[in-house]
Amino acid sequence: AQSVAQPEDQVNVAEGNPLTVKCTYSVSGNPYLFWYVQYPNRGLQFLLKYITGDNLVKGSYGFEAEFNKSQTSFHLKKPSALVSDSALYFCAVRDPGGGYNKLIFGAGTRLAVHP
Amino acid sequence: DSGVTQTPKHLITATGQRVTLRCSPRSGDLSVYWYQQSLDQGLQFLIQYYNGEERAKGNILERFSAQQFPDLHSELNLSSLELGDSALYFCASSVSDSSGNTIYFGEGSWLTVV
């Protein structure tokens, strides 16, 4: 069965410092991986996805993520954090060989960027 | 703005009642998904429709049902409501049901059962 793990409930980082939000996955085949962000009282906003190709994926708002097949990871990164990046971040996976098409989400990681 | 529209944004109702949540997908999207977000269960996939037909079912209770209409809008019906059904219900859509498609989410319908 496919699954996603976000090992950190919360990540704290100072404004201007680099940030990393971790994600690991488990699927039977080659994964399709996604990152979404949820601001308070808002819906989920798509940030980026990995389908195939270059392991480093660039997305919205300066975020990027690196797909690592050997470590089954897809960590979200940003070189310089902003206070406005503070939000709840979700990693998600789809297993194209898994029989049907649902998107499985991790539990979420709360990012707090301090001035 | 994702282009996915959900109504109502907030809803308070009593136990035992029935409510209907409505969703209009992004223009051109044929696939609609429903998710439930709660503190204890996180984001749970409920059901997916593609061009009017049910395509996949997740952790959807028998008291819940959904449909997608010919104009592609979708409704999620929740009946015999219990306190534990209080949650944020998301609708999402994608162009097709191909795994590589991005799924875009609406802002959700907050349901409070009292």
Across the interface, do A105 and B42 touch by the CB < 8 Å criterion? yes
The pLDDT of residue A29 is above 90: no
pLDDT in tens, B60-91: 999 999 999 999 999 999 999 999 999 999 99
Quick one: pLDDT at residue B39? 84
- Give B50's strand partners: B31, B53
What's the pLDDT at A97? 57
Residue B98 has pLDDT above 60, yes or no: yes
Residue B105 to residue A105, Cβ atoms within 8 A: no
Which of B39, B54, B103 would best serve as a mutation to test chain A binding (most A beta carbons within 10 A)? B103
pLDDT value at A111 more than 70: yes
Q: What is the mean pLDDT of chain A?
A: 92
Q: Which residue of A has its CA nearest to B46?
A: A102
- pLDDT tens digits for range A44-91: 999 999 998 899 999 999 999 999 999 999 999 999 999 999 999 999
pLDDT, one tens digit per residue, over B12-39 is 999 999 999 999 999 999 999 999 999 8
- The shortest CB-CB distance from B43 to any of A32, A90, A95 is to A90
Q: Read off the DSSP letter of residue B25.
A: P
Nearest by CB to A46, which of B56, B90, B102? B102
Task: Say yes or no to pLDDT of A98 above 80.
Answer: no
Give phi and psi for A60, each to the nearest 5: -75, 155
| Strand pairing class (A104-105; A109-114) | unpaired
A103 neighbourhood in chain B, CB within 8 Å: 33, 45, 103
- pLDDT for A31 equals 87
What letters, b where the CB count within 10 A reaches 16 and e where it falls short, cover B30-54? bbbbbbbbeeeeebbbbbbbbeeee
Q: What is the reported pLDDT for A96?
A: 62
Looking at residue A114, what is its pLDDT? 96
pLDDT of B96 strictly over 90: no
Set of chain A residues whose Cβ sits within 8 Å of the Cβ of B2: 43, 45-46
pLDDT band for position A103 (50/70/90)?
Answer: confident
